[in-house]
């Protein structure tokens, strides 16, 4: 599975623990790898994969969004700089025009992302609860 954010797909960690990685350069989201056992049940596997996928999906969205921001910002600054000439710099108040327009352009996409993020995040609470119960009983049996 290819993704825009840098994928450290050849990192393999001790499966007994949950791991958190460094923040991605572009998306700033940290990669996670959740723990699993030999006899992982279907429920646990689905939960683990759903959580990891959600994190990756977040990372992909933000990578794309941030790249767009940086690209549009540099284009804006170039245009303004060309208009200003060499002696002046683009001021903070002129940049604020860009900030406003960028936010307005991205409004629809951000709203869609936000809704999806809330839905998927809250949807995982119930499976998380079930998985914790399963793990608790497994540990209690030992």
Partner 1 sequence: MVLCSRLGFTPSTSTAVFHTTTTNSVLPRAKPLDEEMPTSGRSVSKKQRPDTQILDLSGKRHKKDIDIIVADQYLQQWYKMETKSLAADYLALCKSKLSLFVASTATCGFLMAPVPVAAAPLAAATIGTFLLSSAANSCNQLLEAPYDAQMRRTQSRVLVVHRFSPLHAFTFAGVTGLTGIGLLAYYANPLAAALGALNWFIYAVYTPMKRSHIGCTWAGAVVGAIPPLMGYSAATGYLDPAAWCLATILFSWQFPHFNGLSWNLRGDYSKAGYRVMCVTNERLCRVTSIRHSLALLGLCSIAAPLTDLTTLTFAIDSLPVNAYLVYLSYKFYKAPDAKNSRRLFFYSLLHLPLIMLLMGISNYGRNEKQKEPIVERITNGYTSMVESIKSLTA
Which CB atom, from 81 or from 86, has the smaller least distance to partner 1? 81
- Indicate the residue among 65 and 80 with the shorter CB distance to partner 1: 65
- Residue entry with tokens 């995982």: 124
Measured N-to-C along each axis, helices 107-123 and 42-84 cross at an angle, to the nearest 10 degrees, of: 160
For residues 86 and 141, which CB has a smaller minimum distance to partner 1 in the complex? 141
CB of residue 75 vs partner 1: minimum separation in angstroms?
A: 15
For binding to partner 1 (CB under 8 A), which residues are involved? 8, 10-23, 28-30, 32, 35-38, 58, 61-62, 65-66, 69, 92-93, 95-96, 99-100, 102-104, 106-107, 110-111, 114, 117-118, 121, 124-125, 128-129, 132, 138-139, 142
Burial 78-92 (b: 16+ CB within 10 A, else e): eebeeeeeeeeebee
Shortest Cβ 16–partner 1 spacing (Å): 5
Asked if 127 and 46 count as a contact pair (C-beta separation under 8 A), the reply is yes
Q: How far is the CB of 105 from partner 1 (least distance, A)?
A: 11
Q: Give the count of beta carbons closer than 10 Å to the beta carbon of residue 24.
A: 21
Q: Provide the greatest CA pair distance for the chain.
A: 75
């Amino acid at each position: 599975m290819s993704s825009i954010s840098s994928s450290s797909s050849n990192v393999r960690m001790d499966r007994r623990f949950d791991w958190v990685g460094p923040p991605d350069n572009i998306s700033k989201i940290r990669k996670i790898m959740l723990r699993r056992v030999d006899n992982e049940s279907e429920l646990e596997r689905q939960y683990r994969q759903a959580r990891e996928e959600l994190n990756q999906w977040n990372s992909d969205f933000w990578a794309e969004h941030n790249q767009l921001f940086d690209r549009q910002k540099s284009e804006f600054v170039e245009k303004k700089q060309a208009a200003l000439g060499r002696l002046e710099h683009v001021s903070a108040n002129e940049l604020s025009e860009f900030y406003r327009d960028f936010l307005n352009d991205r409004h629809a996409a951000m709203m869609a992302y936000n809704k999806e993020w809330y839905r998927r995040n809250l949807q995982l609470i119930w499976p998380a609860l079930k998985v914790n119960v399963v793990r608790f009983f497994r540990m209690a049996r030992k």
